[in-house]
């Protein structure tokens, strides 16, 4: 093939190459093998993978070697004739015993690593990880810090009206931050359907099942950003709830914890004061885009019947249904995909988003919900 043709092929395959590189940056270093990862366990997993890979190669060489040698050296055209015998006890015992020994030899190191994976004792930090449709929520149990981690990739990139970034679909607004050199225990569960928390570089993939708590752990040596995705089909947003783990030095971790506490305090303070309509609408639009638009759609039209429309119909335009509206946002709606946001969003966010839903897209109810009202509702429960 001429040089020119190769160049043309190269140019034509450019979009594919870019896509491959982007995808591979998520989980592999070379794109050809699984990642070595950044934890002791992930290195052991990689070692096991390579050990077993080479055992397979050795078996393949022996088996196919004998097979092809026999096919070629004893072919009919050279006058070979088949041996006529059956039942050879020695051979039968050998071909049973040899694979068994190989399997046991592989199981010994694998079991040793599995035992380490399951040892969640003596953890320094416990984080409750909850899967939602379609975001993760992290709660630092010892430190009173909790937050949602939402997809940060802009809609324009997903719909192709904007060039895709390097971390397309594997970037979040708030990453899970952990200190290096400390054992992090994850307690995994889910709020709605089964999800799975998967970060290849940490060699962690664990199901998050509603009503049950699974445990796993990891300990990162080097600071860095490690990305992953949900690994159990959980609905139409399954590809849009990535995981981002930022490992930082213990000093930076302490600073981060402090900033999270300060932000939470500022948020709580905001609930006490009177908000203007413009403020509510602005905050509401941002909150809606992050938490509501995945189901109810950015234009409020929803995807009926699973996700009802909010624009121009239903409780968000019914002047008498303001109380129902608040109740549904706070407590969810059982038997449907509508989650309860009362415990997870701040009163300011909830007040703002209800105000937004009742006044956006031509829903002109004029209703204005103040954070203090929501605060009072939550406290009276």
Partner 1 sequence: MASDTSQATVQASTSGVAHDGAAHASHGPTGIMRWVVTTNHKEIGSLYLLFSLVMLFVGGSMALVIRTELFQPGLQFIQPEFFNQMTTMHGLIMVFGAIMPAFVGLANWMIPMQIGAPDMALPRLNNFSFWLLPVAFGILLSTLFMEGGGPNFGWTFYAPLSTTYAPPSTSFFIMSIHLAGISSILGAINIIATIFNLRTPGMRLMDMSLFVWTWLITAFLLIAVMPVLAGVVTMMLMDINFGTSFFNAAGGATRCCSSTFSGSLDTRKCTS
Residue numbers of the site for partner 1 (CB under 8 A)? Answer: 15, 19, 22-23, 133, 157-160, 164, 168-169, 192-194, 206-207, 209-212, 214, 232-240, 303-306, 335-337
The structure tokens 């989980």 sit at 27
Tokens of 93: 């015992």
Long-range Cβ pairs for the range 268-272 (8 Å, 24+): 268/346, 270/346, 270/348, 270/371, 271/346, 271/347, 271/348, 271/371, 271/372, 271/374, 271/375, 272/371, 272/372, 272/375
Q: Which residues contact 223 (CB under 8 A, 6 or more apart)?
A: 180, 247, 248, 249, 252
CB of 45 to partner 1, least distance (A): 16
Query: Of 360, 242, 228, which is closest to residue 292 (Cα–Cα)?
Result: 360
**Residue whose CB is less far from partner 1, 15 or 362:** 15
- Find the shortest distance in angstroms from Cβ 218 to partner 1: 16
CB-count burial class (<10 Å; 0-12, 13-18, 19+) for 196 = buried
CB of 22 to partner 1, least distance (A): 7
When the beta carbons of 14 and 29 are compared against partner 1, the nearer one is 14
Cβ-based nearer residue to partner 1, 143 or 191: 191
CB of 179 to partner 1, least distance (A): 27
Q: Any alpha helices (H) in 13-165, and if so which ranges?
A: 14-27, 40-73, 89-118, 155-158
Residue with smaller CB distance to partner 1, 23 or 377: 23
CB of 248 to partner 1, least distance (A): 29
Q: Which is nearer to partner 1, 188 or 350 (CB)?
A: 188
């Amino acid at each position: 093939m001429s040089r020119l043709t190769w160049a043309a092929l190269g140019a034509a395959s450019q979009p594919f190459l870019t896509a491959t590189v982007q995808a591979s940056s998520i989980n592999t270093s070379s794109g050809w093998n699984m990642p070595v990862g950044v934890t002791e366990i992930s290195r052991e997993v990689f070692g096991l993978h390579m050990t077993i890979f080479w055992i397979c190669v050795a078996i393949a060489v022996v088996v196919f070697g004998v097979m092809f040698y026999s096919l070629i050296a004893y072919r009919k055209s050279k006058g070979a004739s088949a041996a006529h015998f059956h039942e050879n006890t020695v051979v039968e015992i050998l071909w049973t015993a040899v694979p068994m020994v190989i399997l046991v030899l592989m199981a010994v190191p694998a079991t040793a690593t599995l035992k380490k994976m399951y040892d969640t004792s003596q953890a320094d930090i416990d984080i409750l990880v909850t899967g939602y449709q379609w975001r993760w929520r992290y709660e630092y149990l010892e430190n009173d810090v909790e937050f949602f981690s939402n997809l940060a990739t802009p809609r324009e990139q997903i719909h192709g009206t904007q060039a895709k970034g390097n971390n397309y679909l594997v970037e979040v607004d708030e990453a899970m931050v952990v200190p290096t050199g400390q054992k992090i225990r994850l307690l995994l569960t889910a709020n709605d359907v089964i999800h799975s928390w998967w970060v290849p570089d940490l060699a962690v993939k664990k199901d998050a099942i509603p009503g049950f708590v699974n445990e796993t752990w990891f300990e990162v040596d080097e600071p860095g950003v490690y990305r992953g995705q949900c690994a159990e089909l959980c609905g139409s947003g399954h590809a849009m709830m990535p995981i981002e783990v930022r490992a930082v030095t213990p000093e930076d971790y302490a600073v981060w914890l402090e900033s999270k506490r300060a932000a939470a305090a500022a948020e709580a303070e905001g609930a006490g004061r009177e908000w203007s309509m413009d403020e509510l609408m602005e905050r509401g639009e941002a909150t809606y885009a992050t938490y509501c638009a995945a189901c109810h759609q950015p234009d409020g039209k929803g995807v009926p019947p699973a996700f009802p429309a909010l624009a121009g119909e239903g409780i968000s335009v019914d002047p008498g249904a303001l109380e129902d509206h608040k109740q549904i946002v706070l407590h969810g709606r059982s038997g449907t995909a509508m989650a309860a946001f009362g415990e997870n969003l701040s009163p300011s966010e909830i007040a703002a988003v209800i105000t937004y839903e009742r006044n956006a897209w031509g829903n002109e109810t004029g209703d204005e919900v103040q954070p203090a009202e929501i605060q009072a509702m939550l406290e009276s429960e």
